[in-house]
């Protein structure tokens, strides 16, 4: 536009033509250089845009659609389902305890206790104190220990024996180590959702913790029942911040 203004502000056609000749001839190579430069700059800008790896299965456009509707449509859902899971948890269950919640009794609270495979004494201490099954059942509470693979045959034999006696543990086939505690927590949440989903509350703790079950369950009841506070009996979930 600046060029056009410059040329047409001088109304003489001849002058313009002369100008063109003088301007373009010696600078033709320069002009081509600028055109190529412009194409190059435009090209590099378009290829520099935000890029999502195709394995994530969405572009920024899809994301906006999802947010506006809340629930993804059928097409978007199939796209989500075909998306690889970033942190799959597909470890083999060595002891899959699916019977702990297999009855019709109410389960108000499920307590998951991470415990190192060789912590036999710690587990026994919990069973004979705050985690005694009879004591817990008066509070509609169940307890399960989460174990990993100790890679030790004699330890494993003792764990299987312990399971036969108490039936209160699950074990997955990943290496038992402190650094793998995250995996153990995920294993507990997965088990709770698959085999004990009717529990109103799930708590995760460790085998060196003493839980005040009466106080905790009373507190949870005051949150969920509402009757004590004269509410509508509508459940208030702890994690929504209602």
Ligand X SMILES: *[C@@H]1O[C@H](CO)[C@@H](O)[C@H](O)[C@H]1NC(C)=O
Residues in contact with ligand X by the rule CB under 6 A: 118, 152, 154-155, 174-175, 177, 179-180
Between residues 76 and 118, which has the closer beta carbon with respect to ligand X? 118
Q: Which residues pair with 109 in a beta bridge?
A: 141, 201
CB of 153 to ligand X, least distance (A): 7
Distance (Å, whole) CA 8 – CA 219 = 84
CB of 68 to ligand X, least distance (A): 40
DSSP 128: T
Q: Which residues pair with 171 in a beta bridge?
A: 95, 147
Structure tokens belonging to residue 49: 């845009």
Neighbours of 152 (CB within 10 A): 13
Contact by Cβ (8 Å): 123, 117:
no
CB of 122 to ligand X, least distance (A): 14
- Furthest C-alpha separation in the chain: 107
Between residues 156 and 205, which has the closer beta carbon with respect to ligand X? 156
Between residues 168 and 176, which has the closer beta carbon with respect to ligand X? 176
CA-closest candidate to residue 145, choices 204, 89, 223, 58: 204
CB of 149 to ligand X, least distance (A): 7
How would you class 109 by CB atoms within 10 Å of its CB: exposed for 0-12, middle for 13-18, buried for 19 or more? buried
Beta strands in 14-108 (DSSP E): 93-95
Between residues 183 and 213, which has the closer beta carbon with respect to ligand X? 183
CB of 154 to ligand X, least distance (A): 5
CB of 119 to ligand X, least distance (A): 11
How would you class 170 by CB atoms within 10 Å of its CB: exposed for 0-12, middle for 13-18, buried for 19 or more? buried
CB of 157 to ligand X, least distance (A): 9
Between residues 90 and 232, which has the closer beta carbon with respect to ligand X? 90
Contact by Cβ (8 Å): 242, 236:
yes
Between residues 181 and 223, which has the closer beta carbon with respect to ligand X? 181
Between residues 149 and 217, which has the closer beta carbon with respect to ligand X? 149
């Amino acid at each position: 536009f600046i060029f056009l203004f410059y040329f047409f502000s001088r109304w003489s056609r001849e002058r313009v033509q002369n100008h063109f000749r003088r301007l373009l001839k010696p600078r033709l190579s320069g002009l081509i250089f600028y055109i190529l430069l412009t194409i190059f700059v435009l090209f590099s800008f378009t290829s520099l845009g935000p890029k999502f790896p195709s394995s994530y299965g969405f572009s920024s456009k899809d994301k906006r659609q999802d947010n506006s509707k809340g629930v993804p449509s059928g097409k978007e859902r199939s796209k989500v389902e075909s998306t690889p899971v970033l942190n799959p948890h597909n470890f083999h269950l060595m002891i899959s305890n699916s019977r702990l919640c297999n009855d019709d009794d109410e389960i108000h609270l499920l307590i998951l206790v991470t415990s190192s495979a060789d912590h036999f004494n710690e587990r026994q201490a919990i069973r004979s104190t705050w985690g005694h099954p009879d004591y817990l059942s008066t509070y509609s509470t169940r307890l399960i220990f989460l174990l990993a693979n100790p890679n030790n045959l004699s330890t494993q034999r003792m764990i299987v024996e312990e399971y036969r006696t108490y039936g209160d543990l699950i074990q997955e086939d990943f290496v038992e180590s402190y650094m793998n505690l995250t995996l153990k927590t995920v294993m507990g949440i997965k088990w709770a959702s698959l085999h004990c989903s009717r529990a109103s509350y799930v708590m995760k703790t460790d085998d060196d913790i003493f839980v005040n079950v009466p106080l905790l369950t009373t507190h949870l009841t005051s949150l969920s029942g509402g009757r004590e506070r004269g509410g509508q009996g509508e459940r208030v979930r702890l994690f929504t911040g209602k």
